[in-house]
Structure 1
């Protein structure tokens, strides 16, 4: 028998405000949204949750996570660890997209896919991008388009690197060919088919993407650049990209060193972009969870390294509300509806009848995460995990 859960009297942000509503979950989907639902006369086993002191928001969508770790910029001992289930769920993340980064030799796409399947079995929805920093892209089948069409979990390409000393220094023609293959693969498979782009601090900024679009049939919407808060110059180039119609992403994992040396905090970047008139649906946050966060000097020498954390995704969204006066609806949009839309995940990122029952209850008083549901199953209660990963203590 399918599990039935009735969430009563929550202040619903879908992410647009719906007011106080009752939400009925049946199995893995949202079955109904309304007022004054009653199960008093029902013979069905129904779990009723009083959410009168909570906001109910969609489960968070993290568009950039290194499921199997990343890094290695300081040698083998600096390869970062794999993500565990509660790294996501305790941060409200119910959908995550796995990527490779600098290292596509000791970290492989087959390993990434296996970890994605493992995390899905444990409780959250997972997808992957084919490729890594380098072009030509590493693939599973030998072809970007084939990967997208034939492998269910692969929904895009990335994160390819530009304007970075760790990139493969791709030509404009190479970037175009990657984007074209992703677009065709996405069209034929009914997927987003976007190209996730790692943007470094190089002087070219986003110019390679503008050049790839110019003189071709591609549009900026084919590209999804991340790390757009790396410094103020990158941020300003991101605003230009967004004003041209693209979606830009701010990274929430950071270091004190980077913040002291010009990085714009993700919460502040979100607030500034909204103030600049960029629509909320063109702005996203991602954690870069389990990535290495290397600190390089001006000569490219590694000074130190930290590890990205998935939990920073919601921490930054909350900070945007509490410190930078972003509306809660806009902050939630940046980690739900906006990333789901750019990634082509039609069942994710919103609260509506028929969509997946990925939901988070936030306390009214301090906006802390209280309860988390993924595909209709409760994974977190009172801020504590009900379900852990297979190898978590």
Structure 2
């Protein structure tokens, strides 16, 4: 039993839960949060009477690091079929209800009716609602649209910008960038990120074109760019690309991002199936992340490449695929959490504050029930989602 020192006092929230995966299982069952951070972990903590404290009794729930979704069309994607096919924006409630505390906003095909400025405004709006939100500058096309007219300035001067993306390659909707253009973009981002003290990743959209990952393989083979600078996403678009992604990760010690497609007709290409296959190929779990691509479009094209229809992606498949990996024993809880938390934090350069439940880290906590369904989501210590309308109670006098 630990008694909290008065110097740790403030506007406090105490979570009393059944168990904690940080992601490793802890002996602690109490999480004390103050000033947006975790200030103590313990069991049966005693809090002095009269302190400004809210107690959340959730003994039936499991505390885990709040999930991080590194690929979200927060302003809506789509538009491939004209203005009537633009997807809607996502809301803070839709994000938090899936146990997600941090998102990275991205533009896609449409950077004409939507812009990096629109994206920045939405990101700041989500932050005002409590979500930890960031963004990539750029979009599918090359040269990429920016906020300041220069990639390095965007990274250096805009705090919310953590990289470039999603640059499209091996896709009929891309700008068909030459190899030297790809190398220059990644180099600019690397230098801009160094000046800003950021990781500065380049987030590459992979289409189903025959070139696959070849432009990125050449980049890492022919230049001095480190593998952790480049993150390919949608690597489970088809089976051949998934196999290539496994070889790419193993050859370069690189990370790859699996998309939890909510229209995956082939279970082998679902988030669950793709992660399972990468693991079977020997890719370390630490080199795999999952993202949702939510509020992007799910367009359909005919054999000639003409648009014929669209649905809007949601983030429900992301959590469902993750749950299935745990339930079916593909990964234990502590390793599976990396796919949506610790691994993603490392990839984005946020590993010193997110993706782990530890003293000094941001108080981003998701509470799961026995079916691994999110029931409450806290971001910086603030409850943004509560499935039961549960209210905190003051400690006994």
Q: TM-score range by the shorter chain?
A: over 0.9
Question: Alignment partner for residue 352 of structure 1, among 346, 351, 358?
Answer: 358
- Shift in Å, 1:194: 0.5
Alignment match, 1:312 = 317
2:262 matches 1:254: yes
Q: Does 1:53 align with 2:60?
A: yes
Instruction: Tell me if structure 2 keeps the 8 A contact 1:220–1:241.
Output: no
SS of 1:259's equivalent in the other structure is: coil
> Partners of 2:385 and 2:149 in 1: how far apart?
40
Which digits, 9 at most, give the CA deviation of each residue in 1:287-310, with x for residues without a partner? Answer: 111100112233212232111112
What is the total number of aligned residue pairs between the two structures? 381
TM-fit CA distance, 1:31: 0.3
- Normalising by structure 2, what TM-score? 0.92
Name which of structure 1's ranges 372-381 and 152-161 shifts more when overlaid on structure 2.
Answer: 372-381
Distance 1:235 1:18 in 2: 35
RMSD value, Cα = 1.8
- The 5 A counterparts of 1:1-393 are 2-39=10-47, 41-243=48-250, 244-255=252-263, 258-260=264-266, 264-323=269-328, 325-345=330-350, 346-364=352-370, 366-382=371-387
CA contact (8 A) 2:37 2:362 kept: yes
Structure 2: how far apart are the matches of 1:354 and 1:45?
20
CA 1:42–1:271 in 2, change beyond 3 Å: closer, same or farther?
farther
Conservation of the 8 A alpha-carbon contact between 2:17 and 2:62: no
Q: Would you say the 8 A contact 2:259–2:292 is kept in 1?
A: yes
What 5-or-longer segments of structure 2 have no aligned partner?
A: 1-8, 392-397
Output the CA distance in 1 between the equivalents of 2:180 and 2:390.
48
- Structure 1 SS opposite 2:269: coil
Pair 1:131–1:360, CA change in 2 (3 A): same
What's the CA shift for 1:50?
2.9
Counterpart contact for 2:202–2:229, Cα < 8 Å: yes
Shift of 1:348: 1.4
Q: Deviations over 1:24-66 (max 9, x none)?
A: 1112100011223122x33203222233322110111000001
TM-score, L = length of structure 1: 0.93
Question: What is the CA distance between 1:9 and its match in structure 2?
Answer: 4.4
Q: Structure 1 residues 180, 372: closer, same or farther in 2, change over 3 A? A: same
C-alpha distance after superposition, 1:315-368 (max 9, x if no partner): 22112222463222222210111111101113111111111101001012x111
- What do the CA deviations read for 1:193-227 (whole angstroms, capped 9, x no partner)? 00000001111110100112222111322110100
Partner of 2:4: none
State how far apart, in whole Å, the 2-side matches of 1:275 and 1:7 are. 38
Deviations 1:254-302 (A, max 9, x none): 31xx524x86000121122223322222111111111001122332122
